[in-house]
Amino acid sequence: MEVGSASPYIFMYSFIFIAVSFLVIFNFLRIFISLTLSNIIQARKIALRNRRHMTARIGISIIIPAYNEEKDIYRCVDSVYKNKYLYKEVIVVNDGSNDHTAQILESLLLQYPDLIVVNQKNSGKATALNNGILNYASMDLVMVLDGDSFIAEDALSKMTDHFLKDDRLIASATNVMIYNPTNIIEYAQKIEYLIGNKYKASEPGINLEYIIGGIGSTFRKEALVMVDGYSTDSITEDIDLSLKLIKAFGNKSAHIDYADDVVCYTPPAHNFSDLKKQRFRWKYGRFKALAKYRSLFFSTNLKKYSVTLTWWKLPKIVFFEEVMMLLDPFMVLFMLYILVIYIDFSVVLGSLAIYLVISLMASLSDEHLTRKETVLLALSSPATLPLLYIINVVDFYSLVKSIALSKEILLNENKISHWTHIER
């Protein structure tokens, strides 16, 4: 009787254990393959860059929308002018700032007389971007920067090279790195970005890229004009624009890329509250953009859209990755249950080891890290899983909150687009 009554629990335990182990291994293989593919692609790109000697030049307009950016706007503008690439114009659109942003821009005009400063009443980031792009930009390419970000000294020349070598390239994301983390929450974001960037580097080669992030994102101006610029009904205007461009031009004859050699720096969210605020905006905005451009899912227009994007990547985001995020707390509780009740460390140690390997692969292969950063990341790699779980907790919160607003998202009822600054 006791054996018979225990057997269902043994079966359930075995099933859950196998399921959890399978998911851990699956995620490891998925990330491991992506990182390996990323490193191969990166090596090929480096070899190509070393062989290529560009003589042609293409002009690039850098648009910086700014609202209350007094702490960072000088560094942002100055970093663009420190780029020795000559064929550039810098346009700052001051969106009705009520701090000292306007005065700092006036001082920048004295230092850089060719700087274009546009003052407008407060209308939102997307409107500021469209004003700069459609009314002031005169170059063939447009790079978009956030006012609190800054770029590496060779970013412009390297980005223009990507567009010069590929006539069909219409948009490219950049290698965004967290700048100067000083606490655990900031350091967790540093590791997240590092691994995420490696993952992104593997995507363009098989037409999976679908988000051209806001910091340093670069476009052919002609393509932006053809789609009327950024939509003004989204709180994540960059994700919306990315899918808008894919919807209009496809991703087969038109190319979307990730420029791993173009480095931009951004400050992290400094505390848990700001991280929640930031990630909810990202999650809500991504769901809203996916709902808005849902016709891309399972598209039969195979001449225009890649199967890898419309039949794999986009459905996987909604029907696998987000579902797995909902199950994540239960998986963690089960791992703790095994640890406490059966004193079985296998799943926990296996997960820690997997993310240690992933972190080492990402940090040791990144050519943009300083030697000090590489050493620190390598030494902290055993803590990768608990650090990333800080991000997981925030993502879970953002997902649950977005699900609660699913009707609003699906019907696009909330068309408010406004600035959502976090603490600087």
The angle subtended at Cα 194 by Cα 91 and Cα 171, nearest 5°, is 40
Query: Looking at residue 312, what is its pLDDT?
Result: 93
Tens digit of each residue's pLDDT (9 = 90 or more) over 114-130: 999 999 999 999 999 99
Query: Looking at residue 1, what is its pLDDT?
Result: 43
pLDDT < 70 stretches in the chain: 1-56, 344, 347, 421-424
Q: pTM score > 0.85 for this model?
A: yes
Query: Looking at residue 3, what is its pLDDT?
Result: 46
- Nearest by Cα to 147 from 52, 80, 222, 237: 80
Alpha-carbon separation of residue 99 from 40, 70, 103, 159, 418 (angstroms): 47, 7, 9, 33, 17
- Nearest by Cα to 229 from 135, 97, 147, 150: 135
Question: Is 195 buried (19+), middle (13-18) or exposed (0-12) by CB count in 10 A?
Answer: buried
DSSP H or E stretch at residue 176: strand 169-178
Query: Looking at residue 73, what is its pLDDT?
Result: 97
Tens digit of each residue's pLDDT (9 = 90 or more) over 354-375: 788 888 888 888 888 989 999 9
Length of the chain: 424
Structure tokens at 362: 């990402």
As a whole number of angstroms, the distance between CA 126 and CA 95 comes to: 10
| CB under 8 A, 24+ apart: contacts of 410-416 | 410/291, 412/233, 412/288, 412/291, 412/292, 415/232, 415/233, 416/235
Buried b / exposed e over 284-306, threshold 16 CB at 10 Å, is bbbbbbbebbeebeebeeeebbb
Structure tokens at 122: 């407060």
